Amino acid sequence: FKATHVCVTRGDKGAILLANSNFYESFGFRVNVVDTVGAGDSFLATLLHKIINEKVSNEAIDYACAVGAIVASSEGANPKILDEDVKLIMNN
């Protein structure tokens, strides 16, 4: 078994991704945590979408961390997430 991608999430401290012998890192985003249910699932779904449909990059892992942060700062596991909200968190 040879893995080409390995990701380690670090909660509020972001995540590290090893992809095709390259490291990518996000330091996460500060939010007021309300409910962490679904945050990790949302992070992983977003990261996989970015890897499959775009490319592996620091922006991809930052975007996934921002989505996870939005979910953690919301009530329930599946809040409505707009691209504008993700970019707002990423730019602050």
Query: 35, 41, 62, 83: which is the annotated catalytic residue?
Result: 41
CA distance 31 to 50: 23
* Nearest CA among 64, 53, 58 for reference residue 9: 64
Whether 41 is a known active-site residue: answer yes
DSSP type of residue 21: T
- CA dihedral over 22, 51, 40, 65, signed as positive or negative: positive
As annotated, the active-site residues are: 41
